[in-house]
Copies of this chain bind each other. A is one copy, B any other.
Amino acid sequence: MGLTPVFVSLKKAQEKLALQNRQEKDAALSGAAAAIDRNRRAILAANAADVARARSGGMTEALVDRLMLNGPRIDSILSGIETILGLEDPIGRVRGGWKTPNGLFIEQITVPMGVAAIIYESRPNVSADAFSLAYKAGCAILLRGSSAALESNRALTAAIKEGLEAAGGISGAVALADSGSRDEVDEILNARGYVDVVLPRGGRELIRRVVENARIPVIETGEGNCHIYVDETAEAETAAAIVENAKVQKPGACNAVETLLVHRKILSALMPVLGKRIAGQAELRCDPPAKAAAEGIPALVLKDAVEEDWDTEYLDYILGVKTVDSLDQAIDHINRHGTGHSEAILTNNHRAAEEFCRRVDAACVYVNASTRFTDGGEFGFGAELGISTQKFHARGPMGLEALTTIKYHIHGTGHIRNLS
């Protein structure tokens, strides 16, 4: 059907790219960055057209903000590529090697995954981020952005291809699926033999659709019902600052905190401090003891939590607050209601910190820090393909490593196997 020629040419390009060394790949990536820089005006004009179309179609301003590019956002794309240029080649690393008793020499070596596809919603920076990571990892990539960002993605992809060509890179290693038809997504999800992995990046509905329909490997991303547990030994001011940051700095992010778990013994010290910080910024949905401890703060919106709050990823200026009597209760709550994304403990008790790290089942477990750091850029990966909430193949922020696999090289000297 429609995308088959695109799949075939991506696969061919990837076979060539797989054989390139770091110098060659970095030179091409530098070329792509230079071309994005050079074509800023065209990219911003295309983006302005997308934004105008979105606004006239009634898109909310929060979503328009996701769609929008500007100078600093293009700078941030370029600095992501700069960071990726500074990273070691993830390909050709010997991850292990040994001789067997009969003298065979076995090496486990990293190789590119192959052809990746990314299906994403509005943010056009994902086009450049995903391409850069894929190229450095020796993978071809098919970009399938949303129709809202079509002009932006076309302009970015055109600039990338122009830059790759100018720098002697392999411009066929990136393609944009731009018909806008939903059939394209189905084609990608059924591209066995062509696409080695598909990454859905966006809202819950998109991810559900991809997971349920894919006949190729998927990495689930994004859903984050994240918790912060404030232990009785935490320092109240520091804890309140971290919770505020994790909730209000960017509530629409998957690494924003959704439920605060508070040890009963620190309720009275924490809640007034937290309440003052949060007042006018976010609403608290509390269980009775937490509500009682936060009562009477001017401008603080306090509501009663119901059971389903514990399973809700608000992605909004709302924070659930639940009282617990022990570390065990906090861990049990997290392992039952969490989505395996990012979980934090704020404590000065060493044993509690260790126990929390060991027993909480999540991609990222924090001690005394905001959950908001779960991000490829913050982790030093230059960019990210998304944040994996699954345990299979990749977990947490996905950078270069998620696009690699391994291969065994086995050297003998005429070895044959004996019967067994």
Residues on A lying within 8 angstroms of B by beta carbon are: 19, 76, 98, 100, 104, 106, 113-114, 196-197, 212, 215, 217, 235, 238, 241-242, 244-246, 249-250, 357-359, 362-370, 372-373, 377-380, 390-393, 395-396, 405-417, 419-420
Contact = CB atoms under 8 A, between A and B. Distances in A.
Name, among A100, A411, A412, A417, the residue most crowded by chain B CB atoms within 10 Å (CB to CB): A417
Contacts of A410: 364-367, 369, 373
Given A235-B414, A370-B417, 9 more contacts: A104-B378, A114-B391, A242-B414, A366-B411, A368-B415, A369-B410, A369-B412, A373-B412, A373-B415
Contacts of A19: 358-359
Contact of A417 (B104, B245, B417): B245
Contacts of A215: 212
A48 B244 CA distance: 67
A196 B414 CA distance: 40
Contacts of A250: 419
Nearest to A241: B416
* Nearest 5 pairs of A and B residues by beta carbon: A369-B412, A245-B416, A369-B415, A393-B393, A372-B417
Q: Is the interface of A mostly helix, strand, loop or mixed?
A: mixed
A362 B415 contact: no
A413 B196 contact: no
14 contacts: A98-B380, A106-B379, A244-B416, A245-B417, A367-B410, A368-B413, A368-B415, A369-B410, A369-B412, A372-B417, A378-B417, A393-B393, A395-B407, A396-B408
Contact of A408 (B217, B235, B365, B406): B365
Contacts of A357: 409
Contact of A363 (B249, B370, B392, B407): B407
B416 A406 contact: no
A113 B197 CA distance: 20
Nearest to A408: B364
A392 B212 CA distance: 18
Contacts of A416: 241-242, 244-246, 249, 369-370, 372
Q: Which of A76, A212, A411 has most chain B Cβ within 10 Å?
A: A411
Contacts of A390: 217
A19 B331 CA distance: 14
A393 B395 contact: no
Nearest to A377: B420
Contacts of A244: 416
A379 B242 contact: no
A80 to B, nearest CB: 11
A212 B213 CA distance: 11
A391 B368 contact: no
Given A378-B417, A392-B197, A393-B392, A369 B411 contact: yes
A104 B98 CA distance: 35
A362 B420 contact: no
Contacts of A413: 368-369
Contact of A391 (B113, B242, B395): B113
B414 A373 contact: no
Contact of A414 (B217, B368, B391): B368
B76 A373 contact: no
Given A76-B420, A249-B417, A379-B100, A392 B408 contact: no
Contacts of A415: 242, 368-370, 373
Nearest to A238: B414
A38 to B, nearest CB: 24
A407 B342 CA distance: 10
Contacts of A406: 395-396
